[in-house]
């Protein structure tokens, strides 16, 4: 089968290769991949600013159809439409993170697409326990957005935890930012989503999704809006999704005293932030990188109930052979989510 492989560490070193078709273990489910989304992590792997264990097939945002089940599995049948977590627990589930329910940041965490073969390929095998049935009301292509959706729901409902009527500033209107903004609305928060002139298409999609206030920081006064809506206090919560230093700095500035700041976007390098303001304003700083089982279950329900919309975020579909074009589109911030279709 054709697969996109990180062949060795270092910038670049991605190739479309012929790889063996994976075999299904006793406790696994074999899935024919319908589509796999290009993620910021994939770009970091391409640039070698995120650790991996090559040679490995990359890609982890996927949905597909069950084509085989292992002998000791019982939850799935051939032909069912599914999505799956990409987490691999190298500790056997016994570390303090796993036993506490935070298995996605296991002390020996592995992941499909990083150190175990991922989904930029025709087939993938996953542990049965990591597989979920797709709601009937969404397509397989929309299903490929479930992994970023689950990370977004985790960031909002598990980490940031905004209250009803809280003012939440979301910085960065990429796929994650758009999903975070929608998740915050399900919690009853009032949402501002900010971006730049380069994000015009994404900001338009945000407005179409019903995000209350969409701000271009190059042409609009974000600070004035935040202060007006908050009575001069500042935002109750900031969820930073761009991975851009200036956006993080602005978020810390615009938070009210004792507000909460949650970092979701990855910078790919060290950045300088105003930690004196963090201390003087008694801010709460959190990170959010992955998910929990609770976030998966909530995400499935939110989509099934029509409270979060996925389809408008899909702006391009390309064959796997055109992966380089897809990655360059991501770097140029063209569109929102590009899907690669296996051959």
Q: What is the mean pLDDT of residues 302-324?
A: 97
The whole-number pLDDT of residue 93 equals: 83
DSSP structure class, residue 160? I
Residue 341, Cβ density class (10 Å: 0-12 exposed, 13-18 middle, ≥19 buried): middle
* pLDDT of 13 above 90: yes
- pLDDT tens, 288-310? 998 899 999 999 999 999 999 99
- pLDDT tens, 33-54? 999 999 988 998 999 988 889 9
SS3 category, 240: strand
The whole-number pLDDT of residue 269 equals: 84
What's the pTM? 0.94
- pLDDT tens, 162-207? 999 999 999 999 999 999 999 999 999 999 999 999 999 999 999 9
- pLDDT tens, 122-157? 999 999 999 999 999 999 999 999 999 999 999 999
**CB–CB of 295/157 below 8 Å?**
yes
Domain boundaries, the chain: 2-145+310-341, 151-287
SS3 category, 122: coil
SS3 category, 30: strand
Report the distance separating Cα 339 and Cα 326, nearest Å.
Answer: 8
- Token pair, residue 15, equals 């190739």
Which among 332, 338, 149, 303 has a CA at the least distance from the CA of 241?
Answer: 149
Architecture of domain 2-145+310-341: Alpha-Beta Complex (3.90)
- Token pair, residue 7, equals 């062949």
151-287: CATH topology is Rossmann fold (3.40.50)
Q: How confident is the model at residue 261 (pLDDT cuts 50, 70, 90)?
A: very high
Report the distance separating Cα 123 and Cα 66, nearest Å.
Answer: 10
The whole-number pLDDT of residue 33 equals: 98
CA distance to 2, 194, 241, 251, per residue, from 216 (Å): 41, 6, 15, 15
Report the distance separating Cα 285 and Cα 263, nearest Å.
Answer: 8
- pLDDT tens, 209-243? 999 899 999 999 999 999 999 999 999 999 999 99
**CB–CB of 63/81 below 8 Å?**
yes
* pLDDT of 96 above 80: yes
DSSP structure class, residue 78? T
Q: What is the mean pLDDT of residues 257-286?
A: 95
Q: How confident is the model at residue 110 (pLDDT cuts 50, 70, 90)?
A: confident
Q: How confident is the model at residue 103 (pLDDT cuts 50, 70, 90)?
A: confident
SS3 category, 166: coil
CB atoms within 10 A of CB 97: 17
**CB–CB of 66/79 below 8 Å?**
yes
Q: What is the 3-state secondary structure (H, E, C) of 279-319?
A: HHCCCEEEECCCCCHHHHHHHHHHHHCCCCCCHHHEEEEEE
Same fold, 2-145+310-341 and 151-287: no
């Amino acid at each position: 089968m054709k697969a996109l492989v990180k062949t060795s560490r270092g910038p670049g070193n991605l190739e479309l290769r012929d790889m063996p078709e994976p075999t299904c273990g006793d406790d696994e489910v074999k899935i024919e991949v319908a589509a796999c989304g290009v993620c910021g992590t994939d770009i970091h792997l391409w640039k070698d600013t995120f650790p991996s264990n090559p040679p490995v097939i990359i890609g982890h945002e996927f949905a597909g159809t069950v084509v085989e089940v292992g002998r000791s599995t019982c939850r799935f049948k051939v032909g069912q439409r599914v999505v799956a977590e990409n987490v691999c627990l190298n500790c056997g589930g016994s570390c303090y993170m796993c036993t506490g329910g935070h298995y996605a940041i296991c002390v020996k965490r592995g992941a499909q697409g990083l150190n175990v073969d991922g989904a930029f390929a025709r087939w993938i095998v996953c542990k049965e326990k990591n597989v979920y049935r797709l709601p009937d009301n969404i397509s397989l292509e929309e299903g490929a957005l479930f992994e970023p959706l689950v990370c977004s729901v985790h960031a909002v409902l598990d980490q940031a935890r905004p209250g009803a009527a809280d003012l939440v500033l979301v910085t960065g209107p990429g796929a994650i930012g758009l999903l975070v903004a929608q998740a915050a609305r399900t919690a009853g928060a009032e949402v501002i989503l900010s971006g730049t002139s380069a994000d015009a298409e994404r900001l338009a999609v945000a407005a179409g999704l019903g995000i209350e206030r969409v701000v271009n920081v190059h042409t609009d006064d974000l600070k004035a809006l935040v202060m007006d809506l908050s009575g001069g206090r500042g935002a109750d919560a900031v969820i930073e999704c761009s991975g851009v230093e200036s956006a993080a700095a602005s978020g810390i500035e615009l938070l009210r005293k004792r507000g909460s700041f949650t970092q979701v976007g990855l910078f790919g390098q060290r950045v300088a932030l105003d930690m004196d303001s963090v201390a003087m304003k008694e801010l709460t700083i959190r990170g959010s990188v992955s998910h929990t089982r609770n976030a998966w279950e909530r995400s499935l329900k939110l989509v099934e109930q029509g409270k979060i919309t996925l389809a408008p975020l899909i702006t391009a579909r390309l064959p796997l052979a055109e992966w380089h074009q897809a990655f360059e589109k991501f770097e140029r911030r063209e569109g929102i989510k590009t899907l690669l279709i296996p051959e």
